[in-house]
Amino acid sequence: MIQKTTLFALGALLAVLLFPSCNNKQGIQVYRVSKEAAPPENTGMPAMDGNSSMPSMTGAAAPGGESAIISTPPAGWEPQPPSSMRLASFLVKGDNGAVADISLIALGGGAGGVLENVNRWYSQLGQPAITQENLAQTAKHVPSMFGDVMLVDIEGKPAEGAAEKDGRIIGGIVPGEGRTMFFKMRGNTVLAEAQKQNFIKWIGSVRPEEPAGGGVPGMPTASAGMTGAAVPAPEETGASPKIKWEAPDSWKPVPATQMRYATFAITGQNGETADLSISVFPGEAGGDLQNVNRWRDQIGLEPVADIKTLAVPLTGKTGEILTLDMLGSKGRMLVGWTRKNGNTWFFKMTGPDQLTAGEKERFVKFLQSVEYPQ
């Protein structure tokens, strides 16, 4: 009896082993499902008037798995119907029939890399390929919601076309998690030059369509704006204390990174950028002298023995803030810090001398506007 049972058990086991495809993971399946909600369609409507700050919805679901994006096109940019590749598409017209085509394309994966794509643009205008070193020297960096955009400005003669008509490409590439985004303006040289700053501002305004139920934490919507209103700081669900501030419109919030409470990117007239970080640490956070000397080292300054004569106190909405304005060989740094409820809050703006100095007044107002939890 036992032998029969054993043989039966072994036979059953053998059957299972020799029939590994008995699961339901293979084969063509046909089924019916409810229609999925369609992504927002391009309205095809131009911005309400040239100065409207209403975000335009552009594109359907994007290549590379991106959802629709929202951007604030500058005056005079005419939205074009989306294509299967373009997340956003605009046409801008100038004098004497000059036109420039502006596009945003996302492609999944690395798409060949930044250098290869930049050289593809060079080749389109009949220019020789450049090296990684050339690219590092010539490219500018523009902050965006998708990361740091590497921007190149190329002039030349297209293989099929006229230089005066189609001889300039201002293009930006930002590789990201699982996809690469291409911002591109191509067209008449003079018109492209005239639209360059608008193009850079537009890059900064592009963001993914907000998911239902709220926006990106700490990212006010374009329609809400930031002027004058007390904008809540990043809405965190953890135990981090929450603060509020009033930030200028020209400062673009970007996602906070590790150890940062919030980050803003500031772009100058010529495309140069400054970075403003807000961070909070429990307790004394290492002491003032050590911190100041660490900051001085970051901008190429020698350490100091005492900071009493350097730090300038500032009176804010909810107390005193110590501030520093330091200029070194590597740039300028504006810092403010204060201690509240057992935490030390740091506000640090770093960037080129001219841009950072120009932002000083706004930085001071920003520091004064900060409200801390009681």
Partner 1 sequence: MAHRFLDFFSSIKLTIVCLMAAIILVFAGTLAQVHYGIHEVQARYFQSLFVWWPADSTGIQLPVFPGGHLLGGVLLANLIAAHFRRFRWTWRKLGIQLTHFGLIIMLAGGLFTDLFAIESFMRLSSGETKNYSEDSRRMELAIIDQSGSELDTVTAIPESMLKSGGAINHESLPFKLLIRHFYPNTELRMLDGKTNLSPAATQGVGSRVAALPLPLATAPNSRDVPAAVVEIVPRQGDRSLGTWLVSELLGAPQTFDAAGKTWKLTMRPARYYKPYSLTLEKFSHDRYVGTEIAKNFSSKVKLNDLDRSENRNVLIYMNHPLRYRGDTFYQAGFEKNDEATVLQVVHNPTFVAPYLACVIVGAGLLIQFAFQFSGFLRRRESASSSL
Question: C-beta of 6: minimal distance to partner 1 in Å?
Answer: 4
- Secondary structure element (H or E) that encloses residue 182, with its range: strand 179-187
Q: Which residues pair with 281 in a beta bridge?
A: 344
Q: Taking CB under 8 A as the rule, does residue 154 contact partner 1?
A: no
- Kindly tell me which of 84 and 374 has the beta carbon lying closer to partner 1: 84
Among 128, 238, 302, 313, binds partner 1 (CB under 8 A): 238
Question: C-beta of 123: minimal distance to partner 1 in Å?
Answer: 5
Per-residue contact string for residues 200-219; x = within reach of partner 1 by CB under 8 A = --------x--xxxx-xx-x
- Secondary structure element (H or E) that encloses residue 181, with its range: strand 179-187
Interface with partner 1 in residues 53-92 (CB under 8 A): 60-66, 84-85
3-state SS, residue 136: helix
User: Tell me, what DSSP letter sits at residue 65?
Assistant: G
CB 183 within 8 A of CB 149: yes
- Measuring CA to CA, how many Å separate 51 from each of 77, 214, 222, 275, 292? 11, 26, 13, 27, 43
- Secondary structure element (H or E) that encloses residue 10, with its range: helix 2-17
CB 157 within 8 A of CB 163: yes
- Binding part of the chain for partner 1, among 43-51, 232-240, 264-272, 291-299 by CB under 8 A, reads 232-240
- Kindly tell me which of 154 and 326 has the beta carbon lying closer to partner 1: 154
Interface with partner 1 in residues 17-46 (CB under 8 A): 17-18, 20, 22-23, 25-36
Measured between alpha carbons, how far is 326 from 14 in angstroms, rounded to an integer?
77
Q: Taking CB under 8 A as the rule, does residue 13 contact partner 1?
A: yes
Question: C-beta of 358: minimal distance to partner 1 in Å?
Answer: 30
Q: Which residues pair with 346 in a beta bridge?
A: 279, 337
- Total binding residues toward partner 1, as defined by CB under 8 A: 78
Q: Taking CB under 8 A as the rule, does residue 335 contact partner 1?
A: no
* CA Rg value for the chain: 27
Question: C-beta of 156: minimal distance to partner 1 in Å?
Answer: 11
Q: Taking CB under 8 A as the rule, does residue 222 contact partner 1?
A: no
- Kindly tell me which of 109 and 300 has the beta carbon lying closer to partner 1: 109
Measured between alpha carbons, how far is 73 from 53 in angstroms, rounded to an integer?
8
Among 44, 50, 81, 109, binds partner 1 (CB under 8 A): 109
- Measuring CA to CA, how many Å separate 288 from each of 276, 291, 295, 336, 349? 19, 5, 11, 11, 17
- Kindly tell me which of 10 and 162 has the beta carbon lying closer to partner 1: 10
Question: C-beta of 106: minimal distance to partner 1 in Å?
Answer: 7
Among 94, 158, 248, 328, binds partner 1 (CB under 8 A): 158
